[in-house]
Amino acid sequence: MQIKWWKILGIILVLYSIIAGLLMPVPHLNILNETIRNLYFHVTMWFSMIFLMLMSMVQSVKYLSGFDKVRDLKAEALASTGMFIALLGLTTGMIWAQFTWGAFWVNDPKLNGVAVTMLIYLAYFILRNSIENEDAKARVSAIYNIIAFVMMIVFIGVLPRMADSLHPGNGGNPAFGTYDMNNSMRMVFYPAVIGWILIGSWIAQLRFRIKVLEINKENK
Amino acid sequence: MMSPALAQSVEMADVMRSNGKIYVVVAVIAIIFIGLMVYLVCMDKRVKKLEEK
């Protein structure tokens, strides 16, 4: 693996979203004011996390059908990078909440759902660490990873939409997609999402490659 | 809730835009980001070198 085209593309897209995201016009909305630009940074973190967790689950499924250890390592690398990105999304969301809703945290289905999801994934890493035997570790954590992903979809995708929520896109709020986002925002948002997905994948790939190097060194 | 007709009454950061300071903000963030990406590229090259041994 070397400097691939998709890595450069990720850099270009995110750089574009930073420049255009701050300079280009956005809808003038009450409460949000300029912070609506956070869409390009806070929301993109979550899209990136979901993609990474999805890829992680796919690796876990593939592991269970061939027991190729490489897949287990990839699943772990993708999940840990996803956790890191989730942490970024969480902290940026809390700062955004403080300025627009008046509190770092509110009793909101989406926020609580995110917190639960992160705890579930945290348990995935604790589970891995608790099993000594490599094969057992890989097998059990692959199964858990799949369940964790399904739970994530439920807690951050399904349940918030069924309840009243302050969060755009849930409950009584019109989603960012319908009213608040116009085409000039979409022009920055979609490239930003792709860019951060690519960069998140790059980080995960690096983690995986380093892990492989460590294991090879151990086995020498 | 959404009132495009009253868009002018919503406070935006027009001051920073009118005096050009917004470009400083953009430049700072862009430089930080590029710096981090350069770091990532260097890491990638280092890992690649280790893999080739």
Residue B5 lies in a domain: no
> Do A23 and B26 make contact, defined as CB atoms within 8 angstroms?
yes
Torsion angle of the four alpha carbons A101, A103, A107, A111, in this order, in degrees rounded to the nearest 10: 80
Say if A4 is an interface residue toward chain B (CB within 8 Å).
no
Q: pTM score, two decimals?
A: 0.88
Interface predicted TM-score (ipTM) over 0.85 = no
| Cβ–Cβ under 8 Å, residues A155 and A116 | yes
Q: How far is CA A219 from CA A1, A130, A212, B20, in A?
A: 22, 21, 11, 58
A206 to chain B: which residues are within 8 Å by CB?
40, 43-44, 47
Question: What is the distance between the alpha carbons of residues A125 and A81, in angstroms, rounded to a whole number?
Answer: 12
Say if B47 is an interface residue toward chain A (CB within 8 Å).
yes
| Cβ–Cβ under 8 Å, residues A114 and A86 | yes
How far is residue A97 CA from its own chain's centroid? 19
Residue B46 lies in a domain: yes
| Cβ–Cβ under 8 Å, residues A196 and A88 | no
Q: What is the pLDDT of residues B9-37, one digit of tens each?
A: 777 777 766 677 888 888 999 999 999 99
Query: Which residue in chain B is spatially nearest to A178 when comparing CA positions?
Result: B2
Question: What is the distance between the alpha carbons of residues A70 and A26, in angstroms, rounded to a whole number?
Answer: 45
Confidence of residue A128 (pLDDT cuts 50, 70, 90): very high
The Cα of A127 is separated from the nearest Cα of chain B by a number of Å equal to 28
Residue B6 lies in a domain: no
Query: Which residue in chain B is spatially nearest to A176 when comparing CA positions?
Result: B2
Average pLDDT, chain A: 89
Q: What is the pLDDT of residues A32-59, one digit of tens each?
A: 778 888 889 999 999 999 999 999 999 9
Look up residue A4 and give its two tokens: 């691939």
B36 to chain A: which residues are within 8 Å by CB?
none
For the cut 90, the answer to whether the pLDDT of residue A166 exceeds it is no
Q: What is the pLDDT of residue B8?
A: 55
Residue B3 lies in a domain: no
Mutate to test the interface with A, among B12, B15, B24, B53 (most CBs of A within 10 A): B12
**Domain count along chain B:** 1
The burial of B26, by beta-carbon neighbours within 10 Å (0-12 exposed, 13-18 middle, 19 or more buried), is given as middle
SS3 state of residue B14: helix
For residue B38, the enclosing domain spans 13-52
